[in-house]
Structure 1
């Protein structure tokens, strides 16, 4: 009798645990969405000229081109904030995908050299194809990111013992340094130093509605695609043998996951420059909050990445107005200590 009662109680206990976990996850998502909306409002409202909530609301939903404050919001601040939001989402999810498919906790598009590859091709485009449209620049940026990723993974796999997390990180750092030097040489030779300074420092001040019309569909569709791979990436992140035993085609998922990560990183670099550490820090925070299920981790990372980059951009223009600091430097203030902490933790685990 007692055994039957316990047996009947287990499903309800399991259901209660699932409900509790789902409820907590829902709270984190609601909190992230609320913080994201508030962050966007503050970033649009405050600057060289402060705006009220009523003014921001009217400029967004009832735009009047004859009102100066509406013009400031619509033409400058709103595209800038939306650019920070969408590229923050892309960089964060790119890092999450790389960490999942490579099982490398220090994976990030900046650390692994993917951003440097995209920026190098942008430098080549500035030097040899100066009249290139933004859509074509985005495509070339993606090609640079993809080729660099293949080269880094091939370089890391060439050593005896195959590709490991440490070798992947070292290969990425070496290739990133090499590409940065080549890009600097191109900038000096072709007198592009001022044009390329933006791409290395990172920033969304130059994002326009024309950029967003191309950027948003590409990134949003890739984010949705990434979520559909979430279940398989979750199994893969737990180990090769576990994933295979659960029917995951690991080679295919690695290829698709890295492709999505490269698309996100490459398109973001074409708009906001080479901003590192967003994809390193944000996925780790998301895992602390909701666990390792990538079906949930990816959308939460996207929202947290958007919040991080919006506040980094806001800080970059409010630290010493009217001058602006590089947004990449602002993110590095958080990212570098976090990277050193992870590196030390990985060394202890070896």
Structure 2
């Protein structure tokens, strides 16, 4: 009997479009877009400045009105928008990866609720009324709330994804109730708190940036340590253990990174929603499912998105401004609905 060789099937169909790969070229493109968006942010506002003038006074400050506007007003908010967007994007990617929940965002760790309650206490009990004070109280509150959620949502085997989500929802609801009790009792506290709670990069100086930068750097280091094992953790704890990993240790590193990044970002600008929720889906659409690429893509896309949202907020109601938190809600909601309904890459 003679055997008949079967034709190869590997070349029958091309690889599906969904099998995307991150690349250094993609990161370079994102960096270029981020630089361009930053320059536009320095040029656009209640007083428009030509891009050529922006570049000139940026590297050669001359004390002119344009130089003062660029260095004292627009440069701090642009730098802060880039760093905060980067932190929230990476925090969202880590949160979705470690909980294996495509709808997870850093707020599920109680970061925003803890920060808000701490800021209210700072205003009401300690008379804090400056952005620097808000930043420190916010950072402390976000950290304590995250630790509480992590402790409640952890079992003997480490932080459980479902338990973390439930614990985060419960702690956030409790802290939100406490916050409302305080602001409803004191109108002055409500007036001061509502301006912080809307989420904005305007009015922040470089002093706020330098204060939160160490926490963001630590969060980035933890994110880098966590990214190498996130792919294996997606297969389940049993598989990870069989491959020689310690799931509890790596989950703890990842959650701590989320706490640092999201807590520092919220401390700097107040709560800015949808960045940590939407950005990882966009990153996975372009970079695939490999978290070694998803995390850096999420950071650069988050920074780009927040800078663009800040610029849009300055343009749509000129000569006034819309805070970046409001713009992100207007942009992020429809974009997230579109991603959920139209693309498969939003599924982890």
TM-score normalised per structure 2: 0.82
1:244-293 CA-to-partner distances (Å, cap 9, x unmatched) read 22222111111111111111111111110011111111111111211233
Question: How far does residue 57 in structure 1 lie from its aligned partner after superposition?
Answer: 1.2
Between the two proteins, the alignment pairs up a number of residues equal to: 323
C-alpha change, 1:96 and 1:217, in structure 2 (3 Å) is same
Unmatched runs of 5 consecutive residues or more in structure 1: 1-16
**Corresponding residue of 2:191:** 194
Residue 168 (structure 2) aligns with: 172
Cα distance in structure 1, aligned partners of 2:117 and 2:143: 12
Specify the alignment match of 2:62 in structure 1. Answer: 64
Q: Could you give the per-residue CA deviations for residues 311-347 of structure 1, whole angstroms, max 9, x where no partner exists?
A: 111112211122222322211223334555788899x
Equivalent-residue separation in structure 1 for 2:71 and 2:118 (angstroms): 31
Give 3-state SS (helix, strand or coil) of 2:321's partner. Answer: coil
Q: Supply the distance in 2 between the matched residues of 1:225 and 1:154 (Cα, whole angstroms).
A: 19
Q: Give the equivalent residue in structure 2 for 1:29.
A: 27
Contact map agreement 1:84 1:306 (CA 8 A) in 2: yes
Cα gap change, 1:328 to 1:137, in 2 (>3 Å): closer
Task: Report the Cα offset of residue 54 of structure 1.
Answer: 2.2
CA deviation profile, 1:56-104 (whole Å, cap 9, x unmatched)? 1122211123x11100110000101111111111111111111112212
**Misfit runs of 4+, over 6 Å:** 132-136, 341-346
Q: Which ranges of structure 2 fall in alignment gaps of 5 or more residues? A: 1-14
Q: Is the 8 A contact 2:46 2:320 kept in 1?
A: no
For the aligned residue pairs, the C-alpha RMSD in angstroms reads 3.0
Match of 1:113 in 2: 110
- Corresponding position of 1:47: 45
Q: Indicate if the aligned counterparts of 2:20 and 2:286 stay in contact, CA closer than 8 A.
A: no
Q: 1:342 to 1:117 in 2, by over 3 A?
A: farther
Specify whether residues 149 and 24 from structure 1 end up closer, same or farther in structure 2 by C-alpha distance, changes over 3 A only.
closer
Kept in 2: contact 1:227–1:299 (CA 8 A): no
**C-alpha deviations, 1:14-46, integer Å up to 9, x for none?**
xxx9xxx99861221122111111111111111
Q: CA–CA distance in 2 between the matches of 1:108 and 1:174?
A: 15
Shift of 1:237: 2.7
2:307 paired residue among 297, 307, 310: 310
| Structure-2 change in CA distance of 1:82 and 1:253 (3 Å) | same
Residue number in structure 2 paired with 1:125: 122
The structure with the largest helix share of the pair is 1
SS state of the match for residue 274, structure 1? coil
Aligned to 2:4: none
Q: For structure 1, which segment, 124-133 or 328-337, has the greater mean C-alpha deviation from structure 2 after superposition?
A: 124-133
Residue of 83, 88, 111 corresponding to 2:85? 88
Match of 1:292 in 2: 289
TM-score normalised to the size of structure 1?
A: 0.82
Distance 1:155 1:304, change over 3 A: same
Which whole-Å CA distance do the structure 2 matches of 1:170 and 1:342 have between them?
A: 25
Q: Which residue of 1 aligns with 2:249?
A: 252
Change (3 A) 1:62 1:51: same
Q: CA separation of 1:122/1:271 partners in 2, compared to 1, >3 Å: closer, same or farther? A: same
> Are 1:38 and 2:32 counterparts?
no
Q: How does 1:105-254 map to 2 (within 5 A)?
A: 105-131=102-128, 138-153=135-150, 163-165=160-162, 168-169=164-165, 171-190=167-186, 191-254=188-251
